[in-house]
Amino acid sequence: MSTELLLYDYWRSSACYRVRIALNLKGLGCTLRPVHLLKDGGEQHADAYRERNPQEVVPTLVDGQLVVRQSLAIIEYLDETRPLQPLLPPVPRDRAHVRGLAQLVACDIHPLNNLRVMHYLDRELGVAQDARERWTRHWMEEGFRAFEAILAADAAPGEFCHGDTPGLADACLVPQVYNANRFGVDLAPYPMIRAINERCLALPAFEAASPERQAGAA
Amino acid sequence: MSTELLLYDYWRSSACYRVRIALNLKGLGCTLRPVHLLKDGGEQHADAYRERNPQEVVPTLVDGQLVVRQSLAIIEYLDETRPLQPLLPPVPRDRAHVRGLAQLVACDIHPLNNLRVMHYLDRELGVAQDARERWTRHWMEEGFRAFEAILAADAAPGEFCHGDTPGLADACLVPQVYNANRFGVDLAPYPMIRAINERCLALPAFEAASPERQAGAA
């Protein structure tokens, strides 16, 4: 597994941010190639990129001849092919817990709030900006309430989402908290989420992955 | 792994339908306990269920003392703990392909079209029924276009989404096609999706999991 990794990336994309965290936690070198989602009508719609990713979304990982799409699939692929610094625990029951938390974010919060959805609400449904922002906050608050309750019910809580090592669930949570802050979500009701987020942001792997640290950040 | 499996289930839920398919493909017995999403303001909001699933959504799998949430996490858990009739291929690059397809459905199509989102569009944003149905079709058509393109680019196409055995990606695709048919999506542009869907529906594992075959189907 010595091929060079290439990630098609956008600094503000929550899904890309997850993958950058995962790469850093695993200590993997990777070339980041920016795909600007807003410039020139969206570089993700260009023919050359569409061939890599017919969904015209980021991220896309290229590993030699292999193209991997979808942030969680990318992270699991990295974890399976580069097993050092695992992002998933070894036992199935713990893996299920971590995947459940990751998917709570990746399937039930983030898809409702990304750029293409905001565009549709605006351009096709004529939803005003304040109502779009309420929509965004609503799904984050619903998701965080459940995420916090699951953390609180954990019989063996640790420093991070699972145990004392950051992993897949943390790589999903931190970008979502970043988005929540952008949209003014009140995080007071979620003390465990806040504490985990703070511990993560204090780590170089998370800090170096943050949107503002990326090339092209506005 | 001899504990009895219990699945909190709703006949029309696309995410539950995926898990039922997975259970059947693996030949696993499981008690299905219906949670009616529309009756009495939604049984998923009842206190007893919320303890199992703070997100107040279905499905939830119970295996002895363990509670697993999120359909893809449930299916991977079943596959890891009951390895006969695997739903994911053995090689990481193939697993990445299958997970990418599954997540295209589970992260980028279905979350935009489920009941809680339809309710919000209706009750909070006042989006009329025809516009809600256009919204639903839009995300399915966008997703299917990409799904079809990825299948068409597969260097080693088989009878199903990956190879000649149905697995995780098929368990996600078939319920999404079922939804597409409910909402009148024209499937003519997606011949590979249609062919795979037909092959799946001809199998007893898929047939027995179909919404209309479940207890409580209206």
Cβ–Cβ below 8 Å for A125 and B131: yes
Task: Report, as an integer, the average pLDDT of A130-148.
Answer: 98
* Chain A: residue whose CA lies nearest to B129: A125
What confidence tens digit (pLDDT) does each residue in A165-196 have?
999 999 999 999 999 999 999 999 999 999 99
Q: Provide the whole-model pTM.
A: 0.96
pLDDT at B3 over 80: no
Tens-digit pLDDT profile for residues B166-211: 999 999 999 999 999 999 999 999 999 999 999 999 999 999 999 9
Peptide bond into B86 cis (omega under 30): no
> Considering only A106-110, B33-37, B60-64, B171-175, which range has the smallest mean pLDDT?
B33-37
**Domains defined along chain B, listed by start:** 7-85 (3.40.30.10), 92-207 (1.20.1050.10)
Mutate which of B13, B18, B108 to test chain A, going by most A C-beta atoms within 10 A? Answer: B108
Q: Which among B54, B96, B111 is the nearest to A150, CB-wise?
A: B54
Residues of B in contact with A146 (CB under 8 A): 54-56
Task: Report the alpha-carbon distance of residue B44 to residue B57 in Å, rounded.
Answer: 6
Q: Is pLDDT above 60 for A2?
A: no
Residue contact A93–B66, C-beta within 8 A = yes
ipTM associated with this complex: 0.96
- Residues in chain A, how many? 218
What is the least distance, in Å, from the CA of A6 to any CA of chain B? 15
Mean pLDDT on B65-72: 96
